[in-house]
Structure 1
Amino acid sequence: MARRSDHSREELKELALKSAEELLKEKSASELSTRQIATKMGYTVGTLYQIFKNLPDLLLHVNARSLAILYQDCQKLELSAQDAEANILAYANVYLQFARTHPGLWELIFDSSVLSDNLLSDNLLSDNALSGNELPDWYLSQVDALFFLIEIQLKDIKPDSSEFDITKSSRVLWSGVHGICTLSINNLFSHSACSSEELIQSLIKHFIKGWE
């Protein structure tokens, strides 16, 4: 068992998040416990609680890292100055690829149970879990940053649209993309004549026609 002096606080935080990410390759968030994470780290559970408020807090930070990776991957794309639809499709393909490559991390982002008391099974936590209405601003800003990428493209297509319409439409469009990704990683398109990429392309094409 490692000693507390073996790592700094920031190193412990990084180690905890990486350990959780590794465990999520093998099991769902509902099966994850702070004890499992601490064991994988080589530390006691008490050390973990010195870094994070509770398990939902730790998993929220895991989600934040996933959102950051998605954003960085989107930023690496070579976008077209003339084809906003193609840009949106490129973002969607990044999203789909992340879901396929990291299904556990991707599903965790949308698992509301990580913010509920149902995950607090260690009986070592006295703090209440985060609720959906108490997501911290730093986390919400990461979510907004991803939607903003889509909003920019929608505004480029229809510059006179109101901010409200652009914001709403970006969420509507991405709900559709997300649905296809969900069905894809659960192999519910295995007998479909169309690939997930083709379905996403069709969705975006028809959505943009209605948006123009």
Structure 2
Amino acid sequence: MALGAAREIAAAEGLRGLTVRRVAEKMGYAPGTLYNLFDSLDALILALNGETLARLGRDLVAAGESEPSGRATALVDAYFDFVERQPLLWSVIFEHRMPGEGALPGWYSDGLSMLIDGTVAALAPLLGAWPEERRRAAVVAMWAALHGLSMLAVSGKLGLVSDETPRSLGHLLVTRVIGGEGCDLGRSSVLSSNAKASQ
């Protein structure tokens, strides 16, 4: 009930709407009841964000089962479909900060790693020549860039720099990154091209 109430509030108002009192009122309980379930509001928000990431993970797994030739496009579309369905709920993941120097719990970090690992595995057929550590770095970089596009779109600021949709820019970005043939091979190709041009 607490997660359901928090999810409804976050989907409608984002992080600013999430307070102990608001969540408890939506549940139909006194605010103190929430502390019998979670140590703090931050713990509730972490649980909500973990649930959101798990839902995204399921969508990405489904997209990752598509034909390899269209898999990158399917993954980008799945990501933006998810964000566009509930942009304010998605924004809570990146707007929430643990108080002080509070570290994220292990289960949360593990969930993020599983999400990245699943995407790396899905894109492996398209990154065959890339070393494993480079594949993961590429996926993290693409995720960070897609997140930036989505957050600019959610905040209404993407239009200040581009008339393109975040989805089309995301496709451009991912296609460009995956178009490389691996770290060393890509660098060799560039050096070879430069050498030929100078002759």
Q: Distance in 2 between matches of 1:33 and 1:79?
A: 39
* Letter in structure 2 aligned against 1:27: E
Superposed displacement of residue 78, structure 1: 6.7
The alignment-based identity, stated in percent, is 27
| TM-score normalized with structure 1 length | 0.76
Matches within 5 A, 1:14-25: 15-25=1-11
What residue number does 1:148 align with?
Answer: 117
Amino acid at match of 1:108: V
- Bigger helix share: 2
Change (3 A) 1:91 1:104: same
Distance 1:135 1:177 in 2: 22
Q: Does 1:50 align with 2:36?
A: yes
Tell whether the 8 Å contact from 1:17 to 1:62 is kept in structure 2 after alignment. Answer: yes
1:78 and 1:153 map into 2 onto residues whose CA distance is: 5
Unaligned residue ranges in structure 1 (runs of 5+): 1-14, 118-129
**1:90 equivalenced with 2:74 (yes/no):** yes
Say if 2:171 is the partner of 1:171: no
Aligned partner of 1:12 in structure 2 is none
Aligned alpha-carbon RMSD (Å):
2.2
SS at the partner of 2:45?
helix
Which amino acid is the alignment partner of residue 74 of structure 2?
A: A
151, 166, 178: which one pairs with 1:196? Answer: 166
Q: 1:111, 1:32 → 2: CA distance?
A: 12
Q: 1:165 to 1:76 in 2, by over 3 A?
A: closer
Q: Given that residues 89 and 200 in structure 1 are in contact (C-alpha distance below 8 angstroms), is that contact kept between their aligned partners in structure 2? A: no
Q: CA deviation at 1:82?
A: 3.6
Which residue of the partner structure matches residue 57 of structure 2? 71
Amino acid in the other structure paired with 2:174: I
Unaligned runs of 5+ in 2: 183-199
Query: Per-residue displacement from partner, 1:145-189 (whole Å, max 9, x unpaired)?
Result: 221122114432333533322221111111111111112222334
Instruction: Select 1:161's aligned residue among 130, 138, 145.
Output: 130
Letter in 2 for 1:198: S
- Asked if the contact 2:127–2:181 (Cα under 8 Å) also holds between the matched residues in 1, the reply is yes
Conserved 8 A contact 1:63-1:109: yes
CA distance in 2, matches of 1:58, 1:145: 21
Distance 1:17 1:82, change over 3 A: closer
Count of matched residue positions in the alignment of Structure 1 and Structure 2:
181
Q: 1:189 to 1:29 in 2, by over 3 A?
A: closer
Q: Under a length normalisation based on structure 2, what TM-score does the superposition of the two structures give?
A: 0.80
